[in-house]
Chain A
Amino acid sequence: MNNIELADYSSFDTLDFFSDENFIRYVLQPQPADIAYWTEVLVRYPAQKNAIEEAEGWIMMLNTQAVYTPPALNSEQAWDKIQTRMQHLDRRKRTYIIPLQQFAKWSGAVAALFLLYLGISELMQQGQQVFHSAYGQLRTVTLPDESIATLNGNSRIYYVRNWRSDKPRELWMEGEASFKVKHVAILNRVQQADSFRVHVNGIDLTVLGTQFNVKNRRGKTEISLVQGSLRIDKSGINAFSRMMRPGDVFVYDGNVLHKGLQQRTARASQSWTRKELDLDGYTLGDIAQILEDTYGYKVTLNAADLSARKLSGTIPLGSADDILFVIEKVFNVSIIKNKNQLLINHKTN
């Protein structure tokens, strides 16, 4: 017993024991070691007996307070009430809250998908916009500035989407297209940024508000101005710059620009947009090329003399079969059709 190391309790009073953690543990949950320790304390500090007893008394008194139980306390009854409320809430959760949460989750997912779709389509439109038409198909495209481009069969236009007001509107094309350009300049204050520019076959066409047709087939570009004014520019080698006036037709063959034959009017070059083909100035050979370029046929003209034949008039451009029928009648030829092969012969009779 004497070998137990004791703290110095000589100056302890009741309150010191009462608030001493070791002492509290000894009183509330005594372990054999605690009992040995405090027995030794009592032996070594007999003067503190009173204080120790009193502190122990306090702790025990506080610890053994009677648990308050109201007369009507009934834990089973209380639990029944709680259980009833629990089940009621669970039922409500099943019938209303969970379906609502699921609806919210679903609608959230739908909204997220929709936003994603919007985002992606917006992103896709940020880059190059390309429109092209199939053989024999007309296609009308409204450009971001509300200008209208009509594509003849087998044609393509593309532009970089974000046209801004401080830069010229720029567009690239292949095939044949007719334009109705919206005039955006303020009267008498024309700026570079107001112009509309078409890049085709290495030349640039710069216009303000205007109507014109561009036909770019087989390396040859035919520009027909219907209304307004248009400037043709070529930069680099063989650079040139020409102003066109309404009614003018210019042809660029990849090297030289020359004024087109007057037989073919500018308005006639746009006739296809009205689903007609103005034959003025066209030979059967020209029409054969149109059938190849615009309608995708492979045409074989069997007689050289037929190629140069000219006629005037208008052919309705409905279905390809209608066109062939009309051509047979108008040019007095026979057309043998085999898939996309056309064989044009003299009429045999």
Chain B
Amino acid sequence: MISDEQKAWDEFRYGSETALKFIFDSYYTLLFNYGHKFTPDDHVIEDVIQDLFVKLWVDRDKINATAAVKNYIYKAFRRRLIRKLDYAPLIMAFPATEEKIHFDIEPGHDHRMISAERTKKIQHNLAIALEKMTSRQREVIHLRYFEEMEFNDIAEVMQLSTKDTYKLLYRAIDTLKKHLPRFDYLVILYLLDLQRK
């Protein structure tokens, strides 16, 4: 079963402007949102999105069929945005440079939660933990939990190996572990403290 998106992608590759408009409409807001995690500068994001779609149109003859349109668009968008933000590592030997890329997550509201008080507390903990992460760790978290991407998709979009993507996520989880005020942890400390007295 071919999705509407894939059908639109193929039609676009054969020169349909309407089909490209369909793809644009499905991703415009999401790309803006994703771009906003990197920079607060709306003009830059807007420019990058426009350049991206113009470039897609110009290169339509050379673009391949793909089952993962979202990955393609996100990857291309991310690459352009990073280049534009001048964060792109000039030499690939220094991938650490990318750590500098600013990437923000503000936790949303969980509507399924039990009490408002508990929600607030959880949200607070999460916000603290996220703040302690590197921007790339935050980005992995965002792509996994907000964009609901699988690991190989995340790897493709961020131009990493699947192994490195896993590592990045584990480090993110580790960061959460280190910075969360945890109940068990506090109890142990309390008990130790008692013993010392």
Contact = CB atoms under 8 A, between A and B. Distances in A.
Interface of A: 13-15, 18-19, 24, 28-29, 50, 53-54, 56-70, 72-73, 75, 78-79, 81-83, 85-86, 89, 93
A61 B32 contact: no
A60 B53 CA distance: 32
A321 B105 CA distance: 108
B177 A65 contact: no
B32 A69 contact: yes
Interface stretch (B2-10, B84-92, B119-127): B119-127
Interface string B86-124: 000000000000000000011111111110001100110
A62 B143 CA distance: 10
B29 A89 contact: no
A62 B142 contact: yes
A78 B21 CA distance: 11
A57 B122 contact: yes
A73 B142 contact: no
B109 A61 contact: yes
B73 interface: no
Contacts of A89: 54, 57-58
B48 to A, nearest CB: 12
B155 interface: no
Contacts of B32: 68-70, 73
A53 B112 CA distance: 10
B141 A70 contact: no
Interface in B49-77: 49-50, 53-54, 57-58
Residue in B110, B123, B177, B182 whose Cβ sees the most chain A Cβ within 10 Å:
B110
Nearest to B104: A68
B162 interface: no
Nearest to A16: B173
The 6 closest A-B pairs by CB, nearest first: A60-B110, A62-B145, A65-B108, A64-B108, A61-B107, A68-B36
Interface string B26-57: 00111011001000001000100110011001
Contacts of B29: 67, 69, 73, 75
7 contacts: A15-B176, A56-B112, A57-B123, A57-B126, A62-B105, A67-B30, A79-B28
B24 A82 contact: yes
Given A62-B107, A83-B17, A78 B184 contact: no
Given A18-B173, A57-B123, A69-B29, 7 more contacts: A24-B145, A29-B148, A53-B113, A54-B122, A62-B141, A68-B33, A75-B29
Contacts of B30: 67
Given A62-B141, A65-B105, A57 B119 contact: yes
Given A28-B148, A57-B119, A86-B54, A65 B106 contact: yes
A82 B53 contact: yes
B57 A58 contact: no
